[in-house]
Amino acid sequence: MPLFVDFIQEHAEADLVPWECQVEAARRYGLTIAEAEEAILRLELLPARYQRNRAMLTTAQQLRLFRSRVAVVGCGGLGGYVIEELARLGVGTIVAIDPDIFVEHNLNRQLYSSPRLLGASKVEAAAARIEEINPAVTLIPRQEMLTTDTGRELLHGSRVAVDALDSIAARLELAEVCDAMGLPLVHGAIGGWYGQVFTQLPGQKTLQRLYADLRDGRGVEKQLGNPSFTPAVVASMEVAEVCKVLLALGTRLSSRKLTINLLDMETEEIAL
């Protein structure tokens, strides 16, 4: 490791470590890209890819993100954008959970869908994409449905879960598992021009109360449809909430819900 440290310090540009240097150091000293990234951050240096983060995050906070594990449940319209932004932010481990494959009606909005990938696993497509855009991030693909029976195993080790589902029943099962595990849950839902976001902390049971009379219902997106832009907006808000939860920053959307109306460009905060 001393040779690695010397190499990194010699090739750093001020406090920034260029990508080529990180890759070469990993190759030269028998490390994975992820191991090299953690070692760089521990030296209080910053991989250059994150330099636009440093006006808002310290190097110590960047290291904390890298050491975090986040579970994204649902890898479609919301989930694809959530995964992409978490990886670009520098969250070190992402568990992508979804049993589905891409079908044609996904093509208008789901980030990882394409005609070439029709019939392909959504989580495997996510894994390939993250390997391409940030090889330091570990994406764990789980092509299965999260239920009250499988949830504990699927969410084990994660610090936050993200609801990117489109089924009320599935959301309620996720909420119940998170509550039992003492795990914060960032919820997002979309339909047409509209969306909502909030964070449920352990014991709050916000989702369970919100959907108490709709357990057997279908998400509103089935009636209102989904354009390309609504999932991108709501997913970005979910990622901001995840970042705040992981780093204990700012004011979370806890005990309150933010609703978004993109048709009239209005937002409303509702106490829960």
Determine the pLDDT at residue 215: 65
Least confident of 4-8, 208-212, 266-270: 208-212
* Residue carrying structure tokens 């080790």: 157
Percent of the chain topping pLDDT 70: 97
Which structure tokens are listed for 146?
Answer: 């999260």
Determine the pLDDT at residue 214: 73
Q: For the chain, how far is it from start to end, CA to CA, in angstroms?
A: 51
Determine the pLDDT at residue 225: 82
Helix-strand-coil split of the chain, %, nearest 5: 45, 20, 35
Determine the pLDDT at residue 216: 62
Mean pLDDT across 188-193: 96
Q: What is the pLDDT of residues 154-181, one digit of tens each?
A: 999 999 999 999 999 999 999 999 999 9
Provide the pairing of β-strand 185-191 with 93-97: unpaired
Phi-psi region of 203 (alpha: psi -120 to 50; beta: other; left: phi over 0): left
Determine the pLDDT at residue 213: 76
Reported as a pLDDT band with limits 50, 70 and 90, residue 138 is: very high
Determine the pLDDT at residue 14: 95
Mean pLDDT across 7-19: 97
Alpha-carbon gap, residue 74 to 60, rounded angstroms? 30
Q: How far, CA to CA in Å, does 1 sit from each of 6, 25, 82?
A: 9, 11, 35
Are the beta carbons of 215 and 207 closer than 8 angstroms? no
Alpha-carbon gap, residue 122 to 96, rounded angstroms? 9
Which structure tokens are listed for 101?
Answer: 């494959």
Residue 220 pLDDT > 70, yes or no?
A: no
Phi-psi region of 215 (alpha: psi -120 to 50; beta: other; left: phi over 0): alpha
Residue 224 pLDDT > 80, yes or no?
A: no
Determine the pLDDT at residue 212: 82
* Residue carrying structure tokens 């970042």: 243
Q: Which of 225, 227, 258 minimizes the C-alpha distance to 240? A: 258
Are the beta carbons of 172 and 227 closer than 8 angstroms? no
Q: What is the pLDDT of residues 65-107, one digit of tens each?
A: 999 999 999 999 999 999 999 999 999 999 999 999 999 999 9
SS3 114: coil
Reported as a pLDDT band with limits 50, 70 and 90, residue 217 is: low
Q: Which of 38, 163, 17, 16 minimizes the C-alpha distance to 91? A: 38
CA 236 to chain CA centroid, nearest Å: 9
Q: What is the pLDDT of residues 112-122, one digit of tens each?
A: 999 999 999 99
Percent of the chain topping pLDDT 90: 92
User: What domains can be seen in the chain, in order of their start residue?
Assistant: 14-56 (no CATH), 68-271 (3.40.50.720)
